[in-house]
């Protein structure tokens, strides 16, 4: 397999689907035109109206690399090889045009012939009784039946949200090899460890979930697929985690350099630099799309991400504001095609600068107060922080509770 940069892979994907007749759209905003969602969480979100049949597309098929934000798994970010708050979803879409046969065979063609992944390491999963998908995988692609796994709704049915477009899906998995396995005897396709990596989700969007949970058939049979660019890049670059790809590595290296730590030498500082790299990308892209820090909605998420990044920075000794320094690196990596980063560079810098300084002040005040309290407790041989202190820190000073817990942990206080 040929080594490629993340940018080359993005382009390869778009070119492939253009060659199949899809219309190319630039990424839509992270702020969706949809009151049911806070962020664009998947490539299909901007096209919801086409799925529902409320609007008609001027072309029946499309391809994008879509900026996405998902924060439901924020606690895992940095702890695993794959979780991110900001990521790019490579996706192809069809409304009443090609369906399962083409979606599956073309996805296979892209991965095996264009990217060069080893077909012998690939598996497919399908929804329980989706015989049509089974037939395509088995008879047309030629994947042996024992490499096609059937799973239920949790694994192989995709819902956009509580309401809206949904349908059964088929996922393409890639066996990274036994060295990536959790080692459990049950480790197989579907295991949550890193061995069988889910690379591409092909959704056959045929229903509109109603408020009462019922599934209303959509006017047309549709396709919605999503593959994480970061994940695909990690396979092609043969690295153990998305953070080691060229999409992330310069950010990781910079965080290590300013903190004076070495990546891979200490689990705690590795976690901190990964969180900082991840959140720095989110901050830049969110502000570029017009989000500002606030106490609600998207702005609250932005504020929370910035504070988390600063807090992780403190843990590796970054006491001075540092987040703006990541912007030129993000622009170098992703300024093409995301020209909004350059266009909004000054605004992004100003917003980060102000918010980071404000929070640094909060942190300083809170840390001083907490340090004093901890020394007092130690003198008294007391090992328990009064809950009222933690509350005052949070309520009056805006000092995050997790930070109080962490600082207490470090000092042996409960």
Asked if 251 and 330 touch (Cβ cutoff 8 Å), the reply is yes
Which residue from 148, 173, 203, 252 is in contact with ligand SER, where contact means CB under 6 A? 203
Residue 42 within binding range of ligand SER, rule CB under 6 A? yes
Residue 224 within binding range of ligand SER, rule CB under 6 A? yes
Sequence-distant contacts of 127-136: CB under 8 A, at least 24 apart: 127/151, 127/152, 127/153, 127/156, 127/157, 127/168, 127/169, 127/170, 128/152, 128/156, 130/156, 130/168, 130/170, 130/204, 132/100, 133/100, 133/104, 133/168, 133/170, 133/204, 136/100, 136/101, 136/104, 136/105
Stretch 131-170: interaction string toward ligand SER, x if CB under 6 A: ---------------------------x------------
Report, in Å, the least distance between residue 239 CB and ligand SER: 23
Cis, bond preceding 251 (omega within 30 deg of 0): no
Nearer to ligand SER, 43 or 60 (CB): 43
Distance, CA of 16 to CA of 10 (rounded, Å): 10
Report, in Å, the least distance between residue 44 CB and ligand SER: 5
Residue 22 within binding range of ligand SER, rule CB under 6 A? no
Report, in Å, the least distance between residue 254 CB and ligand SER: 30
Report, in Å, the least distance between residue 402 CB and ligand SER: 29
Distance, CA of 128 to CA of 151 (rounded, Å): 5
Which residue from 6, 60, 168, 226 is in contact with ligand SER, where contact means CB under 6 A? 226
Which residue from 27, 225, 234, 298 is in contact with ligand SER, where contact means CB under 6 A? 225
Nearer to ligand SER, 97 or 224 (CB): 224
Stretch 87-116: interaction string toward ligand SER, x if CB under 6 A: ----x-------------------------
> What tokens were used for 94?
């069809």
Which residue from 9, 44, 74, 413 is in contact with ligand SER, where contact means CB under 6 A? 44
Nearer to ligand SER, 88 or 244 (CB): 88
Nearer to ligand SER, 93 or 326 (CB): 93
Tokens 């720095």 map to which residue?
Answer: 280
Which residue from 6, 32, 43, 228 is in contact with ligand SER, where contact means CB under 6 A? 43
Of 38-46, 95-103, 233-241, 319-327, the segment contacting ligand SER by CB under 6 A is 38-46
Of 130-138, 222-230, 271-279, 401-409, the segment contacting ligand SER by CB under 6 A is 222-230
Specify which residues 203 forms β-bridges with: 169, 224
Burial 144-157 (b: 16+ CB within 10 A, else e): eeebbbebeeebbb
| Maximum distance among all Cα pairs of the chain, rounded to whole angstroms | 75
Q: Which residue is nearest to ligand SER (CB)?
A: 226
Nearer to ligand SER, 64 or 234 (CB): 64
Report, in Å, the least distance between residue 71 CB and ligand SER: 15
How many residues line the site for ligand SER (CB under 6 A)?
A: 10
Residue 235 within binding range of ligand SER, rule CB under 6 A? no
**Burial degree of 136 (CB within 10 A; 0-12, 13-18, 19+):** buried
> What does each C-alpha distance from 244 to 26, 81, 85, 368, 381 come to in angstroms?
26, 9, 16, 36, 45
Nearer to ligand SER, 235 or 310 (CB): 235
Which residue from 201, 234, 237, 282 is in contact with ligand SER, where contact means CB under 6 A? 201
Q: Which residues bind ligand SER (CB under 6 A)?
A: 42-44, 91, 158, 201, 203, 224-226
């Amino acid at each position: 397999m040929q080594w490629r940069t993340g940018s080359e892979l993005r382009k390869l994907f778009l070119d492939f689907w253009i060659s199949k007749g899809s219309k190319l759209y630039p990424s839509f905003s992270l702020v969706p035109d949809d009151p049911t969602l806070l962020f664009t969480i998947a490539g299909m979100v901007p096209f919801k109206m086409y799925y529902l049949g409320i609007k008609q597309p001027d072309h029946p098929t499309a391809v994008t690399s879509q900026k996405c934000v998902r924060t439901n798994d924020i606690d895992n970010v940095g702890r695993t090889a794959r979780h991110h708050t900001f990521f790019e979803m490579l996706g192809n879409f069809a409304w009443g045009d090609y369906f399962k046969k083409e979606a599956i065979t073309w996805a296979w063609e892209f991965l095996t012939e264009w990217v060069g992944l080893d077909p012998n390491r690939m598996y497919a999963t399908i929804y329980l009784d989706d015989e049509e998908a089974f037939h395509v995988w088995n008879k047309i692609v030629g994947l042996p039946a024992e490499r096609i796994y059937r799973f239920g709704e949790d694994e192989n049915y995709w819902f956009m949200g509580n309401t809206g477009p949904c349908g059964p899906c088929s996922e393409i998995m890639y066996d990274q090899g036994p060295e990536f396995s959790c080692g459990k005897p049950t480790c197989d396709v579907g295991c949550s460890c890193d061995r069988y990596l889910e690379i591409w989700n092909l959704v056959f969007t045929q229903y509109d979930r109603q408020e009462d949970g019922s599934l209303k058939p959509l006017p047309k049979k549709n396709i919605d697929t999503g593959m994480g660019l970061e994940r695909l890049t990690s396979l092609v670059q043969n690295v153990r985690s998305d953070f080691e790809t060229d999409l992330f590595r310069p950010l990781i290296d910079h965080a290590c350099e300013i903190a004076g730590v070495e990546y891979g030498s200490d689990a705690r500082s590795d976690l901190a630099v990964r969180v900082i790299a991840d959140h720095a990308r989110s901050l830049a892209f969110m502000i570029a799309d017009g989000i500002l820090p606030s106490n609600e909605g998207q702005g609250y998420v932005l504020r929370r991400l910035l504070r988390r990044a600063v807090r992780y920075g403190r843990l590796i000794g970054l006491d001075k504001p540092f987040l703006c320094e990541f912007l030129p690196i993000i622009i170098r990596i992703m300024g093409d095609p995301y020209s909004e980063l350059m266009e909004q560079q000054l605004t992004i810098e100003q917003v980060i600068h102000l918010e980071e300084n404000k929070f640094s002040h909060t942190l300083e005040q809170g840390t001083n107060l907490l340090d004093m309290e901890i020394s007092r407790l130690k003198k008294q041989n007391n090992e328990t922080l009064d809950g009222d202190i933690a509350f005052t820190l949070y309520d009056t000073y805006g000092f995050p509770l997790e930070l109080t817990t962490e600082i207490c942990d470090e000092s042996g206080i409960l």
